Protein backbone atom coordinates (compact mmCIF):
# COMPACT_ATOMS: atom_id res chain seq x y z
CA UNK A 1 0.00 0.00 0.00
CA UNK A 2 3.01 2.28 0.44
CA UNK A 3 3.37 2.35 -3.36
CA UNK A 4 -0.11 3.81 -3.70
CA UNK A 5 0.69 6.55 -1.18
CA UNK A 6 3.84 7.49 -3.10
CA UNK A 7 2.02 7.84 -6.43
CA UNK A 8 -0.98 9.69 -4.96
CA UNK A 9 1.41 12.19 -3.34
CA UNK A 10 3.06 12.69 -6.72
CA UNK A 11 -0.31 13.46 -8.29
CA UNK A 12 -1.18 15.92 -5.54
CA UNK A 13 2.11 17.79 -5.75
CA UNK A 14 1.86 17.97 -9.55
CA UNK A 15 -1.74 19.24 -9.80
CA UNK A 16 -0.85 22.76 -11.10
CA UNK A 17 1.49 21.37 -13.75
CA UNK A 18 -0.95 18.61 -14.72
CA UNK A 19 -3.67 21.22 -15.34
CA UNK A 20 -1.33 23.44 -17.40
CA UNK A 21 -0.17 20.51 -19.52
CA UNK A 22 -3.76 19.32 -19.98
CA UNK A 23 -4.81 22.76 -21.25
CA UNK A 24 -1.82 22.86 -23.60
CA UNK A 25 -2.58 19.37 -24.90
CA UNK A 26 -6.24 20.23 -25.47
CA UNK A 27 -5.31 23.34 -27.47
CA UNK A 28 -2.50 21.75 -29.48
CA UNK A 29 -4.45 18.65 -30.49
CA UNK A 30 -6.66 20.55 -32.95
CA UNK A 31 -4.70 23.72 -33.62
CA UNK A 32 -4.18 22.77 -37.29
CA UNK A 33 -7.94 22.26 -37.86
CA UNK A 34 -10.29 24.99 -39.05
CA UNK A 35 -12.92 24.10 -36.44
CA UNK A 36 -10.28 23.62 -33.77
CA UNK A 37 -11.44 22.29 -30.41
CA UNK A 38 -15.03 21.99 -31.66
CA UNK A 39 -14.03 18.61 -33.12
CA UNK A 40 -13.85 17.23 -29.59
CA UNK A 41 -17.62 17.62 -29.39
CA UNK A 42 -18.51 17.17 -33.06
CA UNK A 43 -16.98 13.68 -33.22
CA UNK A 44 -19.05 12.22 -30.35
CA UNK A 45 -22.19 14.03 -31.51
CA UNK A 46 -21.86 12.46 -34.96
CA UNK A 47 -21.40 9.04 -33.35
CA UNK A 48 -24.44 9.57 -31.11
CA UNK A 49 -26.56 10.40 -34.13
CA UNK A 50 -25.33 7.28 -35.94
CA UNK A 51 -26.05 5.00 -32.95
CA UNK A 52 -29.46 6.57 -32.41
CA UNK A 53 -30.39 6.14 -36.07
CA UNK A 54 -29.21 2.52 -36.29
CA UNK A 55 -30.24 1.17 -32.90
CA UNK A 56 -32.97 3.55 -31.75
CA UNK A 57 -34.74 4.46 -34.98
CA UNK A 58 -33.76 1.42 -37.04
CA UNK A 59 -33.64 -1.69 -34.83
CA UNK A 60 -35.90 -0.48 -32.01
CA UNK A 61 -38.21 1.48 -34.35
CA UNK A 62 -38.27 4.42 -31.96
CA UNK A 63 -39.50 2.43 -28.95
CA UNK A 64 -38.66 4.11 -25.62
CA UNK A 65 -36.68 2.54 -22.78
CA UNK A 66 -39.02 2.63 -19.83
CA UNK A 67 -40.51 6.12 -19.63
CA UNK A 68 -37.71 7.82 -21.58
CA UNK A 69 -37.05 8.20 -25.28
CA UNK A 70 -34.24 6.00 -26.49
CA UNK A 71 -31.96 8.94 -27.32
CA UNK A 72 -32.32 10.30 -23.74
CA UNK A 73 -31.61 6.90 -22.23
CA UNK A 74 -28.69 6.17 -24.55
CA UNK A 75 -27.01 9.53 -23.92
CA UNK A 76 -27.11 8.85 -20.17
CA UNK A 77 -24.52 6.13 -20.68
CA UNK A 78 -22.73 7.41 -23.77
CA UNK A 79 -21.46 10.59 -22.11
CA UNK A 80 -19.47 8.37 -19.73
CA UNK A 81 -18.23 6.17 -22.59
CA UNK A 82 -17.04 9.13 -24.67
CA UNK A 83 -14.72 9.93 -21.78
CA UNK A 84 -13.65 6.35 -21.06
CA UNK A 85 -12.84 5.18 -24.58
CA UNK A 86 -10.34 7.86 -25.69
CA UNK A 87 -8.83 8.10 -22.20
CA UNK A 88 -8.06 4.37 -22.07
CA UNK A 89 -6.25 4.47 -25.41
CA UNK A 90 -4.49 7.85 -25.09
CA UNK A 91 -3.50 7.67 -21.41
CA UNK A 92 -2.23 4.12 -21.76
CA UNK A 93 0.18 5.31 -24.44
CA UNK A 94 1.10 8.56 -22.66
CA UNK A 95 4.26 7.31 -20.94
CA UNK A 96 5.67 5.78 -24.12
CA UNK A 97 5.03 8.95 -26.14
CA UNK A 98 6.42 11.45 -23.64
CA UNK A 99 9.06 9.60 -21.64
CA UNK A 100 11.95 11.34 -23.43
CA UNK A 101 10.44 14.76 -22.72
CA UNK A 102 9.68 14.29 -19.01
CA UNK A 103 12.95 12.47 -18.37
CA UNK A 104 14.61 15.90 -18.67
CA UNK A 105 12.10 17.63 -16.39
CA UNK A 106 11.33 17.60 -12.69
CA UNK A 107 7.98 15.98 -13.38
CA UNK A 108 6.85 12.54 -12.13
CA UNK A 109 6.24 10.07 -14.95
CA UNK A 110 3.22 8.71 -13.07
CA UNK A 111 1.41 12.01 -13.75
CA UNK A 112 1.40 11.54 -17.53
CA UNK A 113 -1.83 9.49 -17.55
CA UNK A 114 -3.35 12.15 -15.28
CA UNK A 115 -2.64 14.83 -17.90
CA UNK A 116 -4.72 12.91 -20.44
CA UNK A 117 -7.49 12.30 -17.89
CA UNK A 118 -7.74 16.00 -17.00
CA UNK A 119 -7.59 17.03 -20.66
CA UNK A 120 -10.52 14.74 -21.51
CA UNK A 121 -12.41 15.88 -18.42
CA UNK A 122 -12.74 19.36 -19.95
CA UNK A 123 -14.73 17.86 -22.82
CA UNK A 124 -16.65 15.56 -20.48
CA UNK A 125 -17.92 18.47 -18.38
CA UNK A 126 -19.22 20.23 -21.48
CA UNK A 127 -21.00 17.05 -22.63
CA UNK A 128 -22.60 16.62 -19.21
CA UNK A 129 -23.79 20.23 -19.35
CA UNK A 130 -25.27 19.66 -22.82
CA UNK A 131 -26.96 16.48 -21.60
CA UNK A 132 -28.55 18.37 -18.71
CA UNK A 133 -29.90 20.93 -21.20
CA UNK A 134 -31.35 18.07 -23.29
CA UNK A 135 -32.99 16.61 -20.17
CA UNK A 136 -34.54 19.95 -19.22
CA UNK A 137 -35.82 20.47 -22.76
CA UNK A 138 -37.51 17.06 -22.57
CA UNK A 139 -39.21 17.68 -19.26
CA UNK A 140 -36.75 15.83 -17.02
CA UNK A 141 -36.10 18.16 -14.10
CA UNK A 142 -33.43 18.09 -11.37
CA UNK A 143 -33.87 15.90 -8.32
CA UNK A 144 -31.76 15.07 -5.29
CA UNK A 145 -30.38 12.07 -7.18
CA UNK A 146 -28.61 14.38 -9.63
CA UNK A 147 -26.11 15.23 -6.87
CA UNK A 148 -25.05 11.58 -7.01
CA UNK A 149 -23.36 12.36 -10.34
CA UNK A 150 -20.46 13.80 -8.30
CA UNK A 151 -19.92 10.40 -6.66
CA UNK A 152 -19.91 8.58 -10.00
CA UNK A 153 -17.54 11.19 -11.44
CA UNK A 154 -15.12 10.35 -8.61
CA UNK A 155 -15.61 6.66 -9.44
CA UNK A 156 -14.86 7.38 -13.08
CA UNK A 157 -11.66 9.34 -12.43
CA UNK A 158 -10.39 6.89 -9.80
CA UNK A 159 -10.99 3.87 -12.01
CA UNK A 160 -9.44 5.50 -15.07
CA UNK A 161 -6.33 6.53 -13.15
CA UNK A 162 -5.87 3.04 -11.72
CA UNK A 163 -6.44 1.39 -15.10
CA UNK A 164 -4.30 3.74 -17.18
CA UNK A 165 -1.44 3.73 -14.68
CA UNK A 166 -1.23 -0.04 -15.05
CA UNK A 167 -1.77 0.00 -18.82
CA UNK A 168 0.73 2.80 -19.47
CA UNK A 169 3.43 0.83 -17.66
CA UNK A 170 2.70 -2.42 -19.49
CA UNK A 171 2.56 -0.55 -22.82
CA UNK A 172 6.16 0.57 -22.34
CA UNK A 173 7.35 -2.91 -21.41
CA UNK A 174 5.36 -4.76 -24.09
CA UNK A 175 4.51 -2.67 -27.15
CA UNK A 176 2.06 -5.25 -28.52
CA UNK A 177 -0.08 -4.56 -25.46
CA UNK A 178 -1.23 -1.24 -26.90
CA UNK A 179 -2.72 -2.98 -29.95
CA UNK A 180 -4.41 -5.54 -27.73
CA UNK A 181 -5.79 -2.76 -25.56
CA UNK A 182 -7.38 -1.02 -28.53
CA UNK A 183 -9.07 -4.27 -29.56
CA UNK A 184 -10.31 -4.89 -26.01
CA UNK A 185 -11.69 -1.34 -25.83
CA UNK A 186 -13.75 -1.97 -28.97
CA UNK A 187 -15.00 -5.23 -27.44
CA UNK A 188 -15.83 -3.41 -24.20
CA UNK A 189 -18.09 -1.07 -26.17
CA UNK A 190 -20.38 -3.94 -27.14
CA UNK A 191 -20.50 -5.69 -23.75
CA UNK A 192 -21.35 -2.48 -21.90
CA UNK A 193 -25.07 -1.50 -21.87
CA UNK A 194 -24.65 1.68 -23.88
CA UNK A 195 -27.36 1.18 -26.48
CA UNK A 196 -29.13 -1.94 -25.22
CA UNK A 197 -31.17 -2.46 -22.05
CA UNK A 198 -29.85 -5.27 -19.81
CA UNK A 199 -33.00 -5.39 -17.66
CA UNK A 200 -34.66 -7.86 -20.07
CA UNK A 201 -31.86 -10.40 -19.62
CA UNK A 202 -31.69 -13.18 -17.06
CA UNK A 203 -30.17 -12.55 -13.64
CA UNK A 204 -27.26 -14.83 -14.51
CA UNK A 205 -26.39 -12.88 -17.66
CA UNK A 206 -26.71 -9.58 -15.80
CA UNK A 207 -24.41 -10.85 -13.05
CA UNK A 208 -21.78 -11.78 -15.67
CA UNK A 209 -22.07 -8.40 -17.39
CA UNK A 210 -21.65 -6.63 -14.06
CA UNK A 211 -18.14 -8.06 -13.76
CA UNK A 212 -17.26 -5.21 -16.12
CA UNK A 213 -16.50 -2.17 -13.88
CA UNK A 214 -17.54 0.21 -16.67
CA UNK A 215 -21.05 -1.23 -16.28
CA UNK A 216 -21.12 0.24 -12.76
CA UNK A 217 -20.22 3.72 -13.99
CA UNK A 218 -22.59 3.74 -16.98
CA UNK A 219 -25.54 2.46 -14.94
CA UNK A 220 -24.58 4.94 -12.22
CA UNK A 221 -24.84 7.88 -14.59
CA UNK A 222 -28.30 6.70 -15.63
CA UNK A 223 -29.33 6.07 -12.02
CA UNK A 224 -28.32 9.64 -11.17
CA UNK A 225 -30.06 11.46 -14.01
CA UNK A 226 -32.91 9.13 -14.98
CA UNK A 227 -33.69 6.17 -12.74
CA UNK A 228 -33.52 7.83 -9.34
CA UNK A 229 -31.61 5.02 -7.61
CA UNK A 230 -28.88 5.47 -4.98
CA UNK A 231 -25.52 3.75 -5.20
CA UNK A 232 -25.85 2.25 -1.70
CA UNK A 233 -28.98 0.37 -2.76
CA UNK A 234 -26.63 -2.13 -4.43
CA UNK A 235 -23.91 -2.17 -1.80
CA UNK A 236 -22.34 -5.46 -2.94
CA UNK A 237 -21.74 -4.10 -6.44
CA UNK A 238 -20.33 -0.87 -5.01
CA UNK A 239 -17.86 -2.82 -2.86
CA UNK A 240 -16.93 -4.95 -5.89
CA UNK A 241 -16.23 -1.88 -8.02
CA UNK A 242 -13.98 -0.24 -5.44
CA UNK A 243 -12.19 -3.53 -4.76
CA UNK A 244 -11.38 -3.93 -8.47
CA UNK A 245 -10.23 -0.29 -8.62
CA UNK A 246 -7.98 -0.77 -5.59
CA UNK A 247 -6.46 -3.97 -7.03
CA UNK A 248 -5.72 -2.22 -10.36
CA UNK A 249 -4.22 0.75 -8.52
CA UNK A 250 -2.03 -1.45 -6.34
CA UNK A 251 -0.83 -3.53 -9.30
CA UNK A 252 -0.17 -0.42 -11.38
CA UNK A 253 1.67 1.33 -8.54
CA UNK A 254 3.96 -1.62 -7.82
CA UNK A 255 4.73 -2.22 -11.50
CA UNK A 256 5.26 1.47 -12.25
CA UNK A 257 7.66 2.07 -9.36
CA UNK A 258 9.57 -1.10 -10.17
CA UNK A 259 10.28 -0.25 -13.80
CA UNK A 260 10.03 3.53 -14.23
CA UNK A 261 13.74 4.16 -13.72
CA UNK A 262 14.37 1.83 -16.67
CA UNK A 263 11.59 3.01 -19.00
CA UNK A 264 14.06 4.69 -21.35
CA UNK A 265 15.85 1.36 -21.82
CA UNK A 266 12.70 -0.14 -23.30
CA UNK A 267 12.31 2.50 -26.00
Q: Which residues pair with 65 in a beta bridge?
A: 68
Does the pLDDT value for residue 267 go beyond 70?
no
Q: What is the pLDDT of residues 176-227, one digit of tens each?
A: 888 888 889 888 888 888 887 887 788 888 888 899 999 999 999 999 998 8
Question: Could you state, in order of their start, the residue ranges of all structural domains in the chain?
Answer: 2-266
Model confidence at 7, pLDDT cuts 50, 70, 90, reads confident
What is the structure's pLDDT at 217? 95
CB burial readout 40-65, b (16+ within 10 A) else e: beeebeeebeebbeeebeeebeeeeb
Q: Which SS3 state, helix, strand or coil, does residue 68 take?
A: strand
- 105-129 pLDDT, tens digit per residue, is 677 888 889 999 998 998 888 888 8
- Over residues 153-179, the mean pLDDT reads 91
For 10-58, write each residue's pLDDT tens digit: 899 889 988 988 888 777 766 665 555 666 667 667 776 776 666 656 5
Rounded Cα distance between 162 and 50, Å, is 31
Contact yes or no for 113/164 (Cβ under 8 A): yes
Is pLDDT of 137 > 90? no
Q: What is the pTM of this model?
A: 0.88
Amino acid sequence: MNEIKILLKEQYRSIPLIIRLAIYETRSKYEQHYLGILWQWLNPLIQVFAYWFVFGFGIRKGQPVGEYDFIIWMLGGMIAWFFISPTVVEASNSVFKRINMVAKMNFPISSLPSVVIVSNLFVHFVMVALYIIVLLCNGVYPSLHWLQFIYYLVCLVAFMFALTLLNSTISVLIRDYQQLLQALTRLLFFVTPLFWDPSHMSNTVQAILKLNPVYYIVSGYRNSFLNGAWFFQDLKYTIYFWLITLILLLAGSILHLKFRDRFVDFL
